[in-house]
Amino acid sequence: MGVKNGDARKRVTTAWGRLRWPLLLAAVLLCLGALVVAGMLPEFMSAPKSSPSTPAWQQEPGSLSQVDGVLPLDAEAPVPVPAEVSKLLNGTLKPDGAGSISGVVMDASTGQVLFDRDANANRIPASNMKLLTAVAALKALGPDSRFTTRVLASDDPSTVVLTGGGDVLLGGAKSDPAAVMGRAGLASLASDTAASLTKAGIKGPITVRVDDSLFAGGPLNPAWSLDDVAAGETAPLFSLALNSGRYSPEVTTGPRPQDSAVTTAQAFAEQLAAAGVQVSPGVERGKGVPAKVLAAAESATVSEQVDLMLETSDNFLAEALGRMTAGASGKETTYDGATAAVRQRLGELGIATDSMQLADVSGLALENQVSARQFAEVVRAITSGPDLALRTALDGFPVAGLTGTLGDRYVDAGTAEGAGLVRAKTGTLNTVIALSGYVVDADGRLLVFSFIGNGLDPGAAGNKVAMDRSASVLASCGCRG
C-alpha cells in the first residue's frame, strides 16, 4: 500500500521548518514592540495569537517543533464538495484576454475529481514537463544515485582524458560536499590528477582531452526555437558541463557556452596547471582507458538534482536528467531516447501516455502536448502513490511567495492567502502559462491540481494571477457545501 497523506504533510511541515526562523524573529520583535508601547498591560499577555477559525496547520507556530513529532493529516477529513470547488474556480480561473485555461483538482488520497475543465484536452505544458522528467528520473535512476566524472589515463602517458558521466553541475573550484551545483569541483579533480601523475612519475607537458560520448545524437534539439537558445534558455547538451551549461552560476540569463564539454575541459586544464602540472595548450576530443582512473568526483544525488531542476526550472539540467534516464531505461541517450524513456516510466506508474506528444523533456518545445489530468496524476503519484522514491521530489516544488519560481508571486491581496501553503511547478512560454502542484485545504485534505492556459495574450499579467488565485482559494477552501 502507498504511504498516505501524512508523508506529504510532513514535507510541507519540513519546508515550513526551514523558513520559520526569519518569520518567528519578526513576530517576536513585533510583539515586544507592542508590549512596550502599551505599557506591558497584562491583557496583552493573554491575547490570542490567531483567530480560532484559522486551522492549526495554517497558523504561525508558537514554538519550534521536531519533525519526528509531526502528525499525519486526518484521513477522515472531509473531501470538498465538487460543486463548491467548481463554483470557486469558475470565478477565478479566467484568462486575461485571449485563450483558454483547462484544469483539474483531485483528492490526493482517493483520486476523486473535484473540478474538471477540459482536463483530458492536450495542451502545451511549458516547464510543467519537468514534473514528468522528475518522476521518470527518480524511477529509472533511483533518488540516491550519483553521476561520476573521471579523469582517465590514455595509451599515451602524456595525455589525460576528462570523461563525462552525466554531471552537468560541475563547479570550477574545489568539490563542495554540501552543494548541489558544485558538489564535484574541477579544482579537486585537477589536484587529485596531479597527485596521480606525480606518483606514476609522469612529467609534462600533459595534453588534456575530453570524452563526451556518453550522450549520443545531436547536442541541439531541432524542436527548440533558436531564439530561445540565443536568449540562453538552454544550450547544446553534452555529458559534462560547468554550472548547468553556464559561464557562471550567478549569471542565469544571456549567452551560454555552445560546447560545454570543451569549455569544461579548458577550465580543467587551467586548474591542472594551477596544481603545478605543465599543460600543453589546446583541448582535444578523445577517449581514455577505463581501467586507468587517475581521479574521480561524484555529483549530488539524483533527488537533489531533481529538486534543483524543479525549484529553478532548469532546462539544461532537465535535458541531462532525461538523457541519463534514457540510458538507465535501455534507450539511446538522444533527445528521442529521453522522451521515450519518460513515456515508458510514466506507463510503469499507471499513467496513461497514449495521447501525449513529447518533443523534449524540459518543456521548451511547442510540440509537447499533455493534459492537465495527466499532470495531476503525476503530482498525485509523487504525494500519495506507492513508489516511495518519488516522495523525494516533494522538496523541489516551489513554495508560494517564498522559494524558486514562485518566490515573487502570491504577494498581492488576491493571492496572499496561498503564500506558504501552495506548492507548485510553474510553466511559462510566450502564450502558455501552467501551474501544477498540491495544497492542504482548510479542512486538512490534501489536494492536487493542474491548470494550463494556452493561446494566451503574451505578457498579460492577469493570467498568472488567475492561476495563483485559483490555487489560493483551494488552500482556504473548506468547501463542504
- List, by residue number, the catalytic residues: 127, 130, 313
Q: What is the pairing mode between strands 113-117 and 293-298?
A: unpaired
DSSP 368-428: -BEEHHHHHHHHHHHHHSS-GGGGGGGGGSPBTTTSGGGTTSS-STTTGGGTTT-EEEEEE
Helices (H) and strands (E) counted in the chain, each on its own, are 12, 12
Between the alpha carbon of residue 264 and those of residues 210, 267, 389, the distances in Å are 9, 5, 32
- CA angle, residues 420, 472, 53, in degrees to nearest 5: 80
Cβ pair 169, 180 in contact under 8 A: yes
- Is residue 273 within 8 Å of residue 280, measured between CB atoms? no
Give the three cell numbers for residue 411: 504577494
Task: Please count the other Cβ atoms lying within 10 Å of the Cβ belonging to residue 201.
Answer: 7
For residues 469 and 481, give the distance between their C-alpha atoms in angstroms, rounded to a whole number: 20
33 CB neighbour count, 10 Å cutoff: 10
103: cell is 484544469
- Helix 315-328 / helix 129-141 crossing angle, nearest 10 deg: 40
Residue 222 CB neighbour total at 10 angstroms: 10
Cβ within 8 Å of residue 36, ≥6 positions away:
none
Sequence-distant (≥ 6) Cβ neighbours of residue 254 within 8 angstroms? 231, 232
Q: How far is CA 373 from CA 137, 352, 378, 451, 480, in A?
A: 21, 10, 9, 9, 23
Cis peptide before 281 (omega within 30 of 0): no
Residue 282's nearest CA partner among 211, 210, 207, 194 is: 207
Residue 110's alpha-carbon distances to 172, 348, 386, 481, in angstroms, are 48, 19, 13, 19
User: Among 414, 373, 464, which residue's Cα sits nearest to residue 105?
Assistant: 373
Looking from the CA of 104 toward its CB, the CA atoms found within 13 Å total 22
